[in-house]
Amino acid sequence: MTVRPFLLALILSFAPALEAQTIAAPESARSRAAVKRVMPELTQQLSDKGLSLGADVFIQILKQDNELRLYLKLSDGTFTLFKTYPICSWSGDLGPKRQEGDGQSPEGFYSIRPGQMNPASSYHLSFNLGYPNQFDRAHGRTGAFLMVHGACVSIGCYAMTNPAIEEIWTLMESAYKAGQTSIQVHAFPFAMTDENLKANADNDWADFWSTLKPAWTAFEETKRPPMVRVVGKSYRIEQ
């Protein structure tokens, strides 16, 4: 009868180490060199904005505007825009990726865990969006290895310049090390304003885009990334 409490105590004693392993992003000589390269200027930029390395990260992608917006968490739990990075290249048209080989860059809601980070990418550094997600699979969409990466070339991915992906990588890696277990990436065709949706009302993907708008609106109103669930074949946005 005395063994079980002992084993429980032993397991709990290892819990911090196990958790640290869970949230550690993989590293390589390339990623370590990249972090070292960008760290001095990045630390100063963060300090100038009253931010710190290790803050939780939230990312928005806007295809039409060729923008990757990176937000960092403040002490009050809200997120503020740290920097907007130009997307060097994406492929296809406005609208979601539907099948393997269509050359489309994905749209929708994706969650990035440390294991999706690739420090030895053929495109400098990268992270896997996790396409197809549950929503994509429910709609029969196919494809794999859709990334955000460096090297400024894209076939279905979102390509950044190498200096940009190095900064993004460093902020994400630092957030994981500080305890963030997953990073949300919301990929939109454009800013989900009423004006933009009205201007694109005749597009074949207008109905799909209307399902993305609640997440955009929730973040605009609260400055907190909403919880996104998939129920059946639909996104459900919860704050």
Q: How far apart are CA 102 and CA 105, in angstroms?
A: 9
> ∠ CA(55), CA(80), CA(96), 5° rounding?
95
Count CA atoms within 13 Å of residue 88 on its CB side. Answer: 17
Q: Residue type for 93, please?
A: D
Annotated active-site residue 157? The verdict is yes
Q: How far apart are CA 149 and CA 126, in angstroms?
A: 4
Q: Quick one: CA dihedral 237, 115, 166, 102, positive or negative?
A: negative
The residues, any chain, with a CB within 8 Å of residue 173's CB and separated by 6 or more, are 25, 27, 31, 35, 117
Tell me the CA distances in angstroms from 145 to 20, 126, 128, 182, one per residue in order: 26, 10, 6, 18
Annotated active-site residue 124? The verdict is no
Q: How far apart are CA 77 and CA 20, in angstroms?
A: 22
Q: How far apart are CA 4 and CA 11, in angstroms?
A: 11
Q: Considering 88, 124, 157, 186, which one is annotated as catalytic?
A: 157
> ∠ CA(29), CA(162), CA(169), 5° rounding?
60
Query: Which alpha helices (DSSP H) does 23-81 contain, by range?
Result: 29-48
Positions annotated as catalytic residues are: 149, 157
